[in-house]
Chains A and B, each alone.
Chain A
Amino acid sequence: EDKVVQSPLSLVVHEGDTVTLNCSYEVTNFRSLLWYKQEKKAPTFLFMLTSSGIEKKSGRLSSILDKKELFSILNITATQTGDSAIYLCAVEAGDNYGQNFVFGPGTRLSVLP
């Protein structure tokens, strides 16, 4: 059975701290790994990773994938209160397009002023 695990499940930091969120997976026929930020309702897309070792960056956020060790990390530097959210990791897997996105439980990040 395909599985995505995230750690930690929750994290409390102060503004200015740097955080690293982890995502590991066990799936059949990996296609891509995606990170989302969920603040209130709709998860919003952050990154999609398909190749090992290539860092993707967007402002203070960055992510990298290791397809050999089957994990990804999401880094947030100089955290701000607006970064408080649930960060979801998802893996697309399987033989057929678009039919199998497996989500992890999420990491709830709280950034205190």
Chain B
Amino acid sequence: DIVMTQSSLYLAVTPGEPASISCKSSQSLLHSNGYNYVDWFLQRPGQPPQLLIYLGSHRASGVPDRFSGSGSGTDFTLKISSVESEDFGVYFCMQILQTPLTFGGGTKVE
């Protein structure tokens, strides 16, 4: 199985400031088609996860452009250009290169 590691369990941020969350995979998620097979989700308390970024860098429908995904191979980053109050919650990365799909342990932005 591919192991997804989010090294930071917590990230303290201030509204209006930028934030960056990292995720590392145990093997390359770069597909031969050029896409990195990693998604990012935000889970607010009591809610299901919300897709933010798919295939490494593509914003999901309705996701504000302050969110961006970058990275390639085994190292990935989710960036928030200017944190807003609604952005607080737990962020997960997930690899979709192969089954079983696997998730990172989450980074709580608080």
User: Are A and B co-members of a single complex?
Assistant: no
- B residues bordering A, Cβ < 8 Å? none
